[in-house]
Chain A
Amino acid sequence: MIELKHLSFSYDDKHQILDDISLKIGADSHKVIGIMGHNGAGKSTLFLNLVGELKPTGGEILVDGQPVEYSKKGLRALRRKIGIVFQNSDQQIFYSIVKDDVAFALHNLKVPADEIQAKVERVLKELDILPLKDRPIQYLSGGQKKRVAIAGIMVIGSEWILLDEPTSGLDPDGRLRMKMLIQKLVANGQHIILSSHDMDFMYEVCDYLYLLGDGKILAQGGKREVFNDEQLLKENKLEQPWLVKIHQKLGLPLYDSEQELFANEGRKHN
């Protein structure tokens, strides 16, 4: 569990990017936690605080009940527990061949060579990119690079994985794969925190959500509650997922996914 106690952060002491945030992430066996908010709401700053890249200017972060230590050793321990995948894949792939890059973190952890190879192959297989193993990075598509970047963090086997805008720049197929990947990570026992502007994606994937605006948590709850307030979402430059819209505007039942909608509604029409 990750607990934030009166967490504040600012770059310049004048403007609080994160303003006295207190919350317990993963308290009630939530597996996929979504952080919503408009551009500049502080989502990325929050993520960087969670992995110790930025040090809170007020309050503290506790992981499994222990306050984060900002020593070299403490941060290393933190990052074994919480991995992060950034938005731009090119900024986090350092090797020119897929398998070398995925193995990087394992080398840093001094894992024996034969074990590294087995782990890398397993992760690549899980992400459906095993055939890309020996390919040079520069000839991969954006979606493939994104999966390589995720593989590079997945191999660490951390309990938490933070995904910053995981669907940005992906085609519908990539988006679908990302959804399945998140489900796979959850099945592996890993927990996900993700930020996105893709409300439909958030609705289908997350089981608990936070709405971040002006550095504060404006709303939190399960997806059925959080997406209910159209006005609040609009004020935060967001919108309701289409499944919620057709529920509210057309009076259809509130479905959890597109498949469920078509399965049920289709039956009525046949």
Chain B
Amino acid sequence: MLSIDKYAYENRIVDWSPKLKALLWLAGIVLAFQPLLWLKAVVLVVVAIITIYVTKVSVKRYISWFYAIIPFVLLSIIGIVVTISSQKSTLIWPIKLGSVYLGMAKVMMPRAGRMALQCMAAIVCTYWFALTTPFTQILQVLKAAHFPRMMIEVTMLMYRFIFIFVDAFEQIHRAQKLRFGYDSFSLMIHSSGILAKMLFEQVIINYEMMTKALDAKLYDGEFYI
């Protein structure tokens, strides 16, 4: 189960107007992308503290949710700072590769720091929104903001089926683990392949059954939101 979703239904400000929460989120994003560095840092810290307070989540758990995102942030930073240059002096930790040097560009360091801070501040704000706003409220906001119907429909169906998919994944994974399917690296590769294949098969079977269920409910091409 996605525990992150549970907090959205059980936090201190769940009854606040979803539009207000969406506006606050937007304000947070604007603050994250404005030019003042110190303000970005303040937003990062303050919003993180507020999030932990209103959702009653433990600090450890809150930080653990960033593990999924930090690799991506790191990758983009690496992409910005790592470069090849013919002048050794412009680089930090240069490594000689033939006639050029591979290293981190000194001029890019402040820019990378700024981007990392900006990124994290925006993520913290988005987490605040995701953790305090139940999905139905998000749908209300999307509707009020006149997003295209099709997009809202797809969002709604994705949200519903993510849980079924995660459940199916967990069940297969657990069954494999209990029969030692992940005891070594080669087994892990093998089992992951089977897992992917089984998930695909289940998606097809579920699709067929769902088509029948839609017929029974007189579906005529439109979901009503």
Number of interface residues of B (CB under 8 A): 29
Contact, CB under 8 Å: A108 / B217? yes
The answer to whether the Cβ of B96 comes within 8 Å of any Cβ in the partner chain is: no
Given contacts A96-B156, A136-B135, whether A105 and B217 have CB atoms under 8 Å apart is: yes
Q: Which residues of A contact B156 (CB under 8 A)?
A: 95-96
Contact, CB under 8 Å: B216 / A51? yes
Instruction: Kindly supply a per-residue 1/0 record for chain A positions 85-113, scoring 1 wherever the CB is within 8 Å of any chain B CB and 0 otherwise.
Output: 11010111111110010011101110000
Q: Which of A75, A88, A96, A105 contacts B160 (CB 8 A)?
A: A96
Instruction: Kindly supply a per-residue 1/0 record for chain A positions 35-54, scoring 1 wherever the CB is within 8 Å of any chain B CB and 0 otherwise.
Output: 00000000000001001010
Instruction: Tally A-B pairs: CB < 8 A.
Output: 80
Contact, CB under 8 Å: A103 / B217? no
* Bound CA span A103–B135, Å: 18
Contact, CB under 8 Å: B212 / A48? yes
* Bound CA span A94–B135, Å: 14
Instruction: Kindly supply a per-residue 1/0 record for chain A positions 113-124, scoring 1 wherever the CB is within 8 Å of any chain B CB and 0 otherwise.
Output: 000000000000
Contact, CB under 8 Å: A103 / B224? yes
The answer to whether the Cβ of A138 comes within 8 Å of any Cβ in the partner chain is: yes
Number of interface residues of A (CB under 8 A): 35
The answer to whether the Cβ of B183 comes within 8 Å of any Cβ in the partner chain is: no
Q: How far is the CB of A148 from chain B (nearest CB, A)?
A: 12
Given contacts A90-B164, A91-B206, A137-B160, whether A53 and B217 have CB atoms under 8 Å apart is: no
The answer to whether the Cβ of A34 comes within 8 Å of any Cβ in the partner chain is: no
**6 A-B pairs in the complex with CB atoms less than 8 angstroms apart:** A48-B212, A79-B216, A91-B206, A91-B213, A109-B218, A156-B217
The 9 closest A-B pairs by CB, nearest first: A92-B213, A107-B224, A138-B163, A91-B209, A108-B218, A105-B217, A96-B160, A84-B216, A53-B212
A contacts, CB < 8 Å to B = 48, 51, 53, 75-76, 79-80, 83-86, 88, 90-97, 100, 103-105, 107-109, 134, 136-139, 152-153, 156
